[in-house]
Structures are given as structure tokens and as C-alpha cells.
Amino acid sequence: MSKNDGFADVGKTAVLQNIQGTMHFLLRYAPFNQMELGHLAQMVEQCRLRFYAAGDPVVGPGDGKIEHVYIVKQGLVLGQRPTLSGDGMETTQEIAPGECFPVAAMVSERATRSHYIAAEDTFCLELNRAAFVHTYNQSAAFRDFALRGVSSLVGQAQQQVQLQAAETLGAQYSLETRLNILAAPEPVTCRSGISLRDAVKLMHENHVGSLVMVDDGHYPIGIFTLRDLRRVIADGSGDLQQPLDELMTRDPVHLPPTATAFDAALTMTQRQIAHLCVVEMGRLVGVLSERDLFSLQRVDLVHLARTISSAPRLDSLVELREEIAHLIDNMLAHGANPEQLTHIITLLNDHTVARVIELMIEEHGDPGVPFTWLVFGSEGRREQALLTDQDNGILFEAAAPRKPSGSASACCRWRAGSTRRWIAAASACATATSWPAIRSCACRARSGCGASAR
């Protein structure tokens, strides 16, 4: 046994020998004084008491993904970050007895961005990740505290992150910028009957990645993009003289000029498109591409959604978890607020769950009955954070409701056989609680046996 392991065991023993005293201490502070005593006692049983001499580091960015949350029992801990000028460190937090850190990093499943140092001889209660997650799922008071802390820290950090990003972004737009400012004001258009050759020539001459077909009232009736062109060439579905009407995407998605960049980003991700039209009073007034939204920071939201939806294996979905964390950092730099961030996380998780269901049907076969996959709790409310577990259900149509048949058992066997495989990927992007919120998750599956669209 190493010296550190020995100290840890001693610390755990010290807490177990004085559970009542530790609980009495914690009950003086929020959120512990709002928790059920049974939940608090179970949490305390998992704590270890650790000592840090003045000047000792407790945890920092170099320690990687946070594995413990600390509760100061005695002493003082300072949270420090590099100054904006980069010439030193500044104290951003003073953490006194009864206070926790770094909760936001634990919930977000990432490394902390602060260096936590004991300002004086300090004792901390140390709670490991598994115990934190158990308490988070079990205690509504503790969970609300953790999520409020994340929201508060996001709000506090938002200005600092944006200031730091401004040095590389320059005079960039935020996610609250309206589309009448962002969209190209003179979109390249064409009329019905144009050939594929002339359409591509028009796009090339104007250096654009999309061409919008409009009617006599200048309302968009179709759009043709470079992505469509690649598809046509790849599958040999058209020739250069073929009318564009037969190859374009009809009824293109559109938003009003008063919509925001965030509205556009969300719409593009939901529909998995890279272009949308801006329409005012029935007339096309602009075209917006994903590149227009995030040209410098490379917040490639639509590309990430597409990658998730086409992932070949569950391992690939797990690896994409890091990409989601980077995306959230970038969107924060672009001005996204906490509500927008949780909405984006929920949306990406919907794509993940849908893809997991597809992969499981490919691997285990069609269950043989139509079904809908239900999501509950924070995912159902579109309030996902990055700390996750799963709470789902299957609603299926049995062949004979009044008597046992193979339908129910087949569906249950399919679900049981799949659960262990999909949970690692699906839970990487979902947080579910016991609140009464339910949504169905969209999925493209064979034979109509998939989760129905919302």
C-alpha cells in the first residue's frame, strides 16, 4: 500500500468513526441542510478526510478530469486562475468551511480550470465520482444545488471566456445576433427549368455554395448545394442537362430575419442541413450557411450532429463525447447562455440515442413490433447537463393485448440484450432525473420499428 493510499484509508476511517459529528457539521450549510438525512448519511459514509498543509495544491487543471469533489471542513482554500495578460495568477475564489469545489467541473466531466491551493492548514472531505453521481441522482436538493452552481458559474465565467476569445475572434458576432445582419443580403437565385450545368456554372461564377430556386413572387421553392452536387455525381443520378427541379431539395427550411444565430444553429442541427433561407413577408431576403455562423471559431455543430448520426460503432459515439465538450466551450465563447447550452446538449444526445438504437437493431435484429423510445427527466425537459445517466422506457404495440404473446417478451429480450452495450454511449450525453417529463426520441429504423418523431 502506498503512503497516499494509507492516508486515504485513515481519512475514511476518521469520517466513519464520527459520522454523526460530520453530519452535524454539514447540516449547518446548504445544500446539506436541505437533504434527507438518509441521503446525507450515505454520502458522508463515502467521504474521506484529507489534510493539506498551507501552500499544498489540492487539485488543478493538470490533474485531468475531476474524480473528486471537496468540501472544506476546516481552513481555507483559494481558487486561482492565470490573469488575462498571462503574467501571473489571480485569486478568483475563497472557499470557506462548508463550501464545495469544483462542482461545475465534476458535473461537466472535465478538468477544472482553476488551481485550488490550501491558504492555510486545511481539512477537506473528499467525495469520489461514483459517490457524487449516486448522491446527485438520489437527492433532489443536492442535484438542484449542483445544477444551479453550474448555471451560476457559466454566467460568471461567460464574460471572462468571451474576453479571452475576443483576442482571436476579433469583431465577431454572438449567438444573439439577428439573421438580417448575418445572412448574405443578395442571395444567388435561379428560376424553374434551369439545367444542372447552368446551375453549377452560376454557383461557380458567384463563388457560392448554394443556389436558391424562387417562384414569381421570389419565394424559395428549392435549394441546391455543393453537397447535393456531390451526391448527384457519386450516385450517378443525373446528367448535366437534367433540370435542377429534379435534383434540388424542395421547400427549403427558412427563418425570419428577426431570428437569432442560435435559432439558426439549432434549426440546422435538428434538420442536419448546412444552409437555410431567410424569408420576410413571403420573399427571399438572404441565405445563411453554417460557415457564416461560425467561420472563425469553427463551432461545427451541424457536422458534429451528422457525424453522430452516421457513427459506425458505439466506440465512435463514446469518442465523440470529447467533441461535444469542445463544442460547448466554443459556443460559450460565442455568447451562448446556459439555457441554450443545455438545449444543444439535449439535441446532440437525441441524435446519439437515435443512432444507438439503429446500431442495436443492426446488431441484434428487428424486435418484430412497432415501438417508441421514451426519454424522461432533464432530457425530456431539454435541460441536459454533461453529467449523465439514463432513464428511458419503451412503448410498444403488442400483437394480442389481452393474452401473453411473443411480442412483449421479444421486445424485452431485445432491450435486455442491448442495454449494456448502448448505455455507455447513450449515457455519455444524457442526464435523466425522476421528474415527470417525457419525450419520444426520433430514430430512423428498419421496418418501422424505431422511436417515433416528436
| CB burial of residue 328 (10 Å; 0-12, 13-18, 19+) | buried
Of 310, 257, 321, 316, nearest to 283 by C-alpha is 257
Take residue 313 and report the three cell numbers written for it: 460503432
- Report the alpha-carbon distance of residue 232 to residue 11 in Å, rounded: 66
Cis amide bond preceding 185, omega within 30: no
pLDDT at residue 400 in the model: 61
Give long-range contacts, CB 8 A cutoff, 24+ apart: 422-426: 422/314, 422/356, 422/357, 422/359, 422/360, 423/390, 424/314, 424/318, 425/314, 425/317, 425/318, 425/352, 425/356, 426/349, 426/352, 426/353, 426/356, 426/390
- Report the alpha-carbon distance of residue 403 to residue 275 in Å, rounded: 51
- 383, 432 in Cβ contact below 8 A? no
Q: Which amino acid is at 97?
A: P
pLDDT at residue 348 in the model: 84
| CB burial of residue 243 (10 Å; 0-12, 13-18, 19+) | middle
pLDDT at residue 120 in the model: 95
pLDDT at residue 431 in the model: 34
Query: What tens-digit pLDDT sequence spans the chain (454 residues)?
Result: 454 554 455 555 555 567 888 999 999 998 999 999 999 999 999 999 999 999 999 999 999 999 999 999 999 999 998 876 667 888 988 999 999 999 988 888 889 989 999 999 999 999 999 999 999 999 988 988 887 765 544 444 455 555 554 444 444 456 677 888 888 778 899 999 999 999 999 999 988 889 999 999 999 999 999 888 988 888 876 688 899 999 999 999 999 999 988 888 888 877 878 899 999 999 999 998 877 776 534 456 777 787 888 888 888 888 787 777 777 777 766 666 777 778 888 888 888 888 888 888 888 888 778 888 888 877 777 776 666 566 778 888 776 655 545 555 555 555 544 544 444 444 443 433 222 333 444 333 333 333 333 3
pLDDT at residue 402 in the model: 53
Q: Could you please report the per-residue DSSP string of 98-137?
A: T-EE-HHHHHTTS--SSEEEESSSEEEEEEEHHHHHHHHH
pLDDT at residue 380 in the model: 74
pLDDT at residue 413 in the model: 52
Take residue 385 and report the three cell numbers written for it: 447537463
Sheet strand arrangement including 254-255: 254-255, 275-280, 283-289
pLDDT at residue 65 in the model: 92
DSSP state of 395: E
- Report the alpha-carbon distance of residue 302 to residue 264 in Å, rounded: 11
- 74, 128 in Cβ contact below 8 A? no
- Report the alpha-carbon distance of residue 184 to residue 231 in Å, rounded: 25
pLDDT at residue 245 in the model: 93
pLDDT at residue 279 in the model: 95
- Report the alpha-carbon distance of residue 24 to residue 361 in Å, rounded: 52
pLDDT at residue 97 in the model: 94
